[in-house]
Amino acid sequence: MNKIKLPLKVGIIGYGKVGRIRHKCVENHPHLELIGICDSDPKALHNSKIKHYGDYKQLLDKNPDIVFVCTYNLYIPEISIEAISRGIHVFSEKPPGRNLEDVKAIKRAAINNPFAKVKFGFNHRYHEGVAEAKTIVDSGRLGKIMWMRGVYGKAGGQGYDCNWRNNIELSGGGILIDQGIHMLDLFRFFCGEYDEVKSFVGNSYWKVGVEDNVFALLRNSKTAQTAMIHSSATQWRHKFLLEIYMEKGYLEIDGILSSTRTYGRETLKTARCVLDDNKYPLPNPQENMTYYDNDNSWRDEINEFVDCIVANKPINNGGIDDAVKTMELVQRIYCDDNGKPNLGADSLSRRALYGRVL
């Protein structure tokens, strides 16, 4: 087994908004040392003293211990596979590529190079409200989960129609693969796997070549646990709401702390089902609210990643298997059981939406 030498040398590939966030996390971690940043645009570094590389392979040639892959989805598989095959640990942003084939290719590389740890940025698991809800669910004090309902929506926003996230060549899909994927990951985080999927994928407003609204129902046929997601780019306000209903009560995570703070104050609502004298539930039980002030999710997921590397522990959150299973759900939502796109009557042509990617 290779001996770990601290600090771990880090390279960042892709220096947009997320790359810069990762840079700060690396700077603040005592076991990490940044050795270089790769971005096609040298101006992106804003005169930083950090060594700039125009080609990611040149950065990999410097033998970093870890690379953060913060590029467009298109480039994630190629870069991740190259890094993994060199024995470099990879932390990649989500989604893990543009489609299921992409992430399966990364998985094959990971299986062939078991030394390299691979983790994806499903940072919502590390939000305090989500973590506290998970503790409550796992304690069993409110019984088993019966169903979940998640809304993750945005108002599109300035330049939405020109954003790379809506360029199918670069992204692989629209609002679901970009933002809704977090909600799918949380469904799995809380409740495990779903084998039945029904969905409507549509484009209601933005003429961008990818979906702007997805409605999907997921069910585990053995446990009957069901989840419903609405992922939307026509919410006209930023909204995050995850409702978790259990046998003896419920949890609701309303709002999620983000860098822009536009998704509202992160709040966890908890309540127990109250029964009347005849053991029937009373409406409107007492609810308690917990408000969270800080978003440490970016820091905490990197801390966990580094801990796994240093202690040679498996990646339990956001690892390659999580990535494959979540992308399987994305693919099943995008396509019906026959592999054809699930498109509403108002949608774009199938070929424009999915013909080149799925």
Residue 68 binds another protein, judged by CB under 8 A: no
Nearer to another protein, 135 or 259 (CB): 135
Residue 252 contacts another protein per CB under 8 A: no
Least separation in angstroms between CB 81 and another protein: 38
283 makes contact with another protein (CB under 8 A) = no
Checking 213-217 for CB contacts under 8 A at 24+ apart, the result is 213/175, 214/175, 214/176, 214/180, 214/333, 216/333
Q: Does 187 bind another protein (CB under 8 A)?
A: no
Q: How far is the CB of 47 from another protein (least distance, A)?
A: 35
- By CB under 8 A, tell whether 278 contacts another protein: no
At 312, give phi and psi (nearest 5°): 50, 50
- Look up residue 130 and give its two tokens: 């989500």
Residue in the block written with tokens 């003896």: 248
- Contact status: 338 vs another protein (CB under 8 A): no
135 binds another protein (CB under 8 A): yes
Q: Does 292 bind another protein (CB under 8 A)?
A: yes
Backbone angles phi, psi at 118, to 5 degrees: -130, 125
Per CB under 8 A, the list member of 3, 159, 222, 293 interacting with another protein is: 293
β-strand 249-254 against 239-246: which pairing, if any?
antiparallel
Residue 294 touching another protein (CB under 8 A) = yes
Residue 254 in contact with another protein, rule: CB under 8 A: no
Measured from the CB atom, the residue of 234 and 267 that comes closer to another protein is: 267
28 scored as a contact of another protein (CB under 8 A): no
Q: Site for another protein (CB under 8 A): which residue of 195, 196, 247, 287? A: 287
132 lies in the binding site for another protein (CB under 8 A): yes
187/170 Cα distance (integer angstroms): 26
Shortest CB 61 distance to another protein, Å: 41
Q: Count of residues binding another protein (CB under 8 A)?
A: 15
- Residue 56: partners with Cβ closer than 8 Å, 6 or more residues away: 13, 38, 79, 82
Whole-angstrom distance, CA of residue 68 vs CA of residue 79: 10
Interacting span for another protein (CB under 8 A) from 64-72, 128-136, 225-233, 248-256? 128-136
Distance of CA 200 to the CA centre of its chain: 21
Residue that the structure tokens 């609810």 belong to: 287
Q: What is the rounded CA–CA span in Å between residue 253 and residue 186?
A: 11
Site residues, another protein (CB under 8 A): 128, 131-132, 135-136, 139, 286-294
